[in-house]
Structures are given as C-alpha cells and as structure tokens.
Structure 1
C-alpha cells in the first residue's frame, strides 16, 4: 500500500482529523507528525503532510445544516439491564416495573420510568448524524450519557438528572448545526 493510501486510511480511522481537514483547520505538518506516531505510518512527515494536502482536495467542504425538532426532557427514568427483570437497574435509581412502552430499547436493555436520570427527547428531523453530533457535544461538555439512540423521528439521550438542562441546550445546539456528509 502506498504512503498516500496509508495516510488516507489513518485519517479515516481518526474521524476528527477528517473533519478538521474538511473544515480547513489542520496544520498539515503537525497532523502528519501525530499520524506518524499514532497510526504508525512509516514515512517522512513531509511526505505524509503532502498526502494530507492532496487528500483534503478530494474531501467535500465541511458544511452544516439546521434541523427542526422539538426537544424536551423527562426526569425520573432509569436504564434497566434486563427488560424482563424489573429488579435490575443500571445507573442507579429504583427501576420499578418495566414500562409497557420504554423510551428506548436495545437488546435486553431499556430506558424506563422510575429512575434517577433524565431523558432528553428530540422528535422531528433527527437521524444518526444528529445523534453522533449531539453525543460528541455532550462528551465535550463532560455530560455522561448512560444510553442513547435514534429511530424514526425520535432521538433519546439519558443523562444524570443534574445535567438535564445543560443536555437540552447541547442537543438544541446540535440541531442548529448538524454536519452534512456528502457522498
């Protein structure tokens, strides 16, 4: 594999580098040195930087779009590890009986009423791009997310109760500027 191909593969393995390249925010020499160390690229940093510059020319520009969705929060939810076992709650709180209609279910885990967490719900024009951006923003804001998912026109993020209001603002901000991925 050529150094250029290895560099592109390394960038794809580190999506934040790809986003920075798309946005034109990269010091190519610094990124090349970092990739050489982190991705074990065997090549001269100047050659890697040149490969990054060429790759940048092939990437679509970084763009965002606003999405329309209603964002609300619901306090008093918990994450149940085994949806069939009402005594099993993860993340604290008394799960009580498993709700007939959980907010989110993945495998045997479910987000149900009766816990000490808050669910942030966004309904409307949501998809995995909104979820990914919201999760990145929540991580940057040091908000722990116990569960998250998106299906149809609904997105759910479960956070500690004390972070509920902040999480609503973060999700609303994410909806205002969702990264657009051109294929």
Structure 2
C-alpha cells in the first residue's frame, strides 16, 4: 500500500484521531509524528502530515444530531445469570447478553433510554460516561431501547450524561 493508504488505515484504526481530523481540531504535524510511531508507518512525519491533510479534504465535516428519546433511571438492578426470569414475568431482565442479564434486583442503577437509539447512540453515551469515570459493567441497545448499568450513586449524574450524549450523537458518515 501507499503511504497515503497506510495513513488512512492508521487513522481509521484510531477513531479519536478520525473524529479530531473531521472536526478540524488535529495538529497535523503532531498527529503525523505520533501516527508514524504508533502505527509504524513507513514514511517521514512530513509526508504523513501531508497525507493527513489530503485525507481531511475527503472527509465529511464532523457533525452531531439530536435523538428523540426519553431517558429514565431504574434503581435496584443487578447482574445475574440470564436464566433467572421467564419471558413476561414482572421480574424480566432489562438486558440479556450471553449468559448474563440485568436483573430487577440488586444494588446498581440502570439508565434506560427509549426512542431513536442505536449503536452510535450507545457509543456516544459510553464515551461520555467513561470521560466522567463512571464505570459501566453492562450496556446494550436493541429495538429502540438503550440500557447502561452504573453504580447506585452514579445514577443521577449518569442520567444527565446520557441525556446530553443523546442530544449530540456524532453522525456516522462512511469514510
């Protein structure tokens, strides 16, 4: 592959670099030096910087969109085996993944968003929760419902963070 193609692949492998490049916030020289080392690019940093500038011209501008959702908090959930409750029971799990489930009894809090949610909305929410150092031991999205499980004390802050994330979900134009 060419240096330009290698640079594009290195950027795509590091979504935070792609976001900064799309937003016009990237110091091309600093990013080129870092990428040259981190991705073991076979080229001088100046050439990598030039490839970054050309790549930026081909990318859509960074943009976000607001999602129509309702966000609520459910206290008293926990993580357990997925076979605990039968379909239709009042105690049906909020989320099942493999052999684990978010059950209606425990010492954690579930943040539940319903409406226009998808994997991009979940990703935006998880990024913002991580930046605020809020641990998320379980999360998922399916059929217009997004669930993030957090510690009991983190619940109120997590609701506000998820609401803010859903008001500015990055658009996912292909690159």
Q: Normalising by structure 1, what TM-score?
A: 0.90
Q: 1:84, CA displacement in angstroms?
A: 3.0
Looking at structure 1, the residues matched to 149 and 112 of structure 2 have their Cα atoms a distance apart, in angstroms, of 9
Q: 2:92·2:104 contact (CA, 8 Å) conserved in 1?
A: no
Q: What is the root-mean-square deviation in Å for CA atoms of aligned residues?
A: 1.4
Q: Which residue of 1 aligns with 2:3?
A: 3
Secondary structure (helix, strand or coil) at the match of 2:4 reads: helix
1:161 to 152, 156, 159: 152
Q: 1:127·1:153 contact (CA, 8 Å) conserved in 2?
A: yes
Q: Which residue of 2 aligns with 1:179?
A: 170
Q: Normalising by structure 2, what TM-score?
A: 0.94
Q: Does 1:106 align with 2:105?
A: no
2:126 to 113, 130, 135: 135
Q: 1:59, CA displacement in angstroms?
A: 0.7
Looking at structure 2, the residues matched to 152 and 11 of structure 1 have their Cα atoms a distance apart, in angstroms, of 31
Structure 2 gaps, min length 5:
none
Q: Which residue of 2 aligns with 1:152?
A: 143
Looking at structure 1, the residues matched to 107 and 16 of structure 2 have their Cα atoms a distance apart, in angstroms, of 33
Looking at structure 1, the residues matched to 173 and 15 of structure 2 have their Cα atoms a distance apart, in angstroms, of 15
Size of the aligned set, in residue pairs, is: 171
Structure 1 gaps, min length 5:
87-97
Q: 1:134, CA displacement in angstroms?
A: 0.4
